[in-house]
């Protein structure tokens, strides 16, 4: 059951803007904290950087963030924090097929 949702196409500019917003909000007080946590946005941000806790809405954005912020550290998808998975119980939204997406 993969490929249920097609990945949305984003322009490079759009992604860069999102990543920039995510990174520049870092340490920006309560607003920045809420933005980073992703909680205030109802889980809008899916991934959390394990290194600096910046959040990104999708894997591609996180990868761009990683390349920009942690160029010396290899990008490892498995080390990212999936906020959607951890907050799945909170939303109590039925998400069949999500389990088992971890490859390792």
Give yes or no for a contact between 52 and 63, defined as CB atoms under 8 angstroms apart: no
Taking the least distance from each CB to Zn ion, the nearer of 82 and 98 is 82
Which position among 15, 49, 62, 83 is part of the footprint of Zn ion (CB under 5 A)? 49
52 binding Zn ion? (CB under 5 A) = yes
Taking the least distance from each CB to Zn ion, the nearer of 51 and 90 is 51
Using CB positions, name the residue nearest to Zn ion: 49
Q: What dihedral angle (degrees, nearest 10) is formed by the CA atoms of 83, 85, 86, 92?
A: 110
68 binding Zn ion? (CB under 5 A) = no
């Amino acid at each position: 059951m993969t490929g249920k949702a097609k990945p949305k196409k984003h322009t490079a500019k759009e992604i860069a803007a999102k990543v920039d917003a995510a990174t520049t909000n870092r340490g920006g007080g309560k607003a920045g904290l809420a933005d980073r946590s992703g909680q205030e946005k109802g889980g809008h941000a899916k991934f959390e950087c394990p290194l600096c806790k910046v959040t990104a809405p999708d894997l591609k954005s996180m990868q761009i963030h990683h390349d920009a912020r942690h160029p010396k550290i290899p990008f490892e998808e498995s080390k990212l924090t999936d906020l959607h998975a951890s907050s799945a119980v909170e939303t109590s939204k039925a998400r069949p097929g999500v389990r088992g997406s971890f490859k390792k």
